[in-house]
Amino acid sequence: MKSTVDYVLGETLPEPGTAIEVANGVRWIRMPLPFALNHVNLYLIDDDEGWVLIDTGIATDQTKALWERVLETQLDGKPISQIVVTHFHPDHMGCAGWMLDRTPAQFWMTRSEWLSARAIRLDDSDELLDGIAAFYRRTGLGDDTVFDLRAMGNTYRRQVSPIPLIYQRIAADTCLEIGGRRWMAVIGAGHSPEHACLYCPEAGLMIGGDFLLPRISPNISVWWNEPDGNPLNDYLRFLDRLDVIADETLILPSHDRPFRGVKPRAVDLSTHHDQRCDLALDICRKPATAAEVMTAMFKRTLDTHQTRFAIGEALAHLNFMLDQGRLARHLSSDGAWRFVAA
Ligand SMILES: [Zn+2]
């Protein structure tokens, strides 16, 4: 999709295992990810006696080794005193438990994100795998793909260290004082159930997490546990609420690079979803499954990991239009939902 943002540091990226200053009192770290999206950004905010860490990276040996180096060499001898995790996804949550074994930090998260992390990390049942397979059969994916998706099992368990038993809750009215400046929680849903951004008007900074990305669109997916959910509506409502963010705010996103231009970016993201809805509606002039809509939306070969996100994304647009009354849905005799323009 197109991007109209201003990358304030140009092409500059932190080297693995090092932190660079991205704003006064804020450092930026990049950790590797074993996916097509090959990195995640983490941030450290100076809190005088210690650092507030935002997100932790996926729990791989590679990330942990890089963390050892950061902890030893990049923190000016100060401890990590607070850990804030924006949402439960493994690239953000992964090393939180591991880190808490090494630092006496307090751990902050919203309630739904913490509960999601705890619940998914613990679920190792066949029931879960059967539920996943039943959901993907409804989407019209072929038997082989459904088999592969079931066989992938609970990938979350393998990508996160044990989820902390105790957390400090970030709620809609939470304001964290860090280094003498106030950071307000800006909570949204869509990419995940209760994602926390942090906005510091005084510093002109916002932690964007996965909700404000400069180039790619955050994945907005329907998942097996809430098949009739409407996450796209949640996400568009979040974008609408960004009016209160000052134009010149520097956004610190979880992927790609820090940028300015939050409002044009919100418009681009919302236009992108409008276009995807138009495309899906066009396919549904004849009854179509989510899998058929996915094929039209993503015109490339997708591996099993990518299919999981792509089918969820196709369904997010279909459920959005179903709620608006632009589509109708029925269950066909082959066990798949078919959507048709109303
Ligand atoms: Zn995410």
Q: What is the pLDDT of residue 230?
A: 98
Q: In this prediction, what percent of the chain has a pLDDT beyond 90?
A: 96
What spacing in Å lies between the alpha carbon of 191 and ligand 1's midpoint?
A: 6
For residues 42 and 103, the model is more confident at 42
What spacing in Å lies between the alpha carbon of 165 and ligand 1's midpoint?
A: 21
Task: For residues 140 and 42, give the distance between their C-alpha atoms in angstroms, rounded to a whole number.
Answer: 37
Q: What is the pLDDT of residue 246?
A: 96
DSSP-derived 3-state class of residue 28: strand
What spacing in Å lies between the alpha carbon of 56 and ligand 1's midpoint?
A: 12
- Average pLDDT of span 1-11: 85
Task: For residues 332 and 315, give the distance between their C-alpha atoms in angstroms, rounded to a whole number.
Answer: 16
Task: For residues 107 and 173, give the distance between their C-alpha atoms in angstroms, rounded to a whole number.
Answer: 17
Pairing of strands 175-178, 168-169: unpaired
Task: For residues 84 and 250, give the distance between their C-alpha atoms in angstroms, rounded to a whole number.
Answer: 19
What spacing in Å lies between the alpha carbon of 200 and ligand 1's midpoint?
A: 22
Confidence (pTM): 0.96
What spacing in Å lies between the alpha carbon of 91 and ligand 1's midpoint?
A: 7
Average per-residue pLDDT for the chain: 96
CB neighbour burial string for 172-181, b if at least 16 within 10 angstroms, e if fewer: eebebebbeb
Question: CB under 8 Å to 151, separation ≥6 — which residues?
Answer: none
What spacing in Å lies between the alpha carbon of 36 and ligand 1's midpoint?
A: 14
294's enclosing H/E stretch is helix 290-297
What spacing in Å lies between the alpha carbon of 336 and ligand 1's midpoint?
A: 28
DSSP-derived 3-state class of residue 228: coil
Name residues with Cβ closer than 5 Å to ligand 1, which is an ion.
Answer: 89, 210
Q: What is the pLDDT of residue 2?
A: 67
CB-based contact 7:214 (threshold 8 Å): yes
- Average pLDDT of span 105-113: 98
Selection from 214, 163, 165, 204 nearest residue 181 by Cα: 204
- Render pLDDT for 314-341 as a digit per residue (tens, 0 to 9): 999 999 999 999 999 999 999 999 999 9
- Render pLDDT for 136-152 as a digit per residue (tens, 0 to 9): 999 999 999 999 999 99
What spacing in Å lies between the alpha carbon of 208 and ligand 1's midpoint?
A: 11
What spacing in Å lies between the alpha carbon of 332 and ligand 1's midpoint?
A: 33
Q: What is the pLDDT of residue 124?
A: 86
What spacing in Å lies between the alpha carbon of 189 and ligand 1's midpoint?
A: 11
Question: Which residues lie across from 23 on neighbouring strands?
Answer: 26
CB neighbour burial string for 202-241, b if at least 16 within 10 angstroms, e if fewer: ebbbbbbbbbbbbbebbbbbbebeeeebbbbbbbbebbee
Q: What is the pLDDT of residue 35?
A: 86
The token pair at 222 is 């329907």
- Render pLDDT for 179-213 as a digit per residue (tens, 0 to 9): 999 999 999 999 999 999 999 999 999 999 999 99
What spacing in Å lies between the alpha carbon of 243 and ligand 1's midpoint?
A: 23
What spacing in Å lies between the alpha carbon of 48 and ligand 1's midpoint?
A: 29
Q: What is the pLDDT of residue 104?
A: 87
Task: For residues 55 and 96, give the distance between their C-alpha atoms in angstroms, rounded to a whole number.
Answer: 8
The token pair at 288 is 């179509």
CB atoms within 10 A of CB 267: 14
Question: CB under 8 Å to 28, separation ≥6 — which residues?
Answer: 14, 19, 20, 21, 22, 41, 42, 43, 252, 258
Q: What is the pLDDT of residue 235?
A: 98
CA dist 32 → 40, 87, 97, 254, 339 (Å): 6, 18, 18, 12, 39
Walk me through the domains of the chain, giving residue ranges and CATH numbers: 6-126+154-281 (3.60.15.10)
- Render pLDDT for 277-308 as a digit per residue (tens, 0 to 9): 999 999 999 999 999 999 999 999 999 999 99
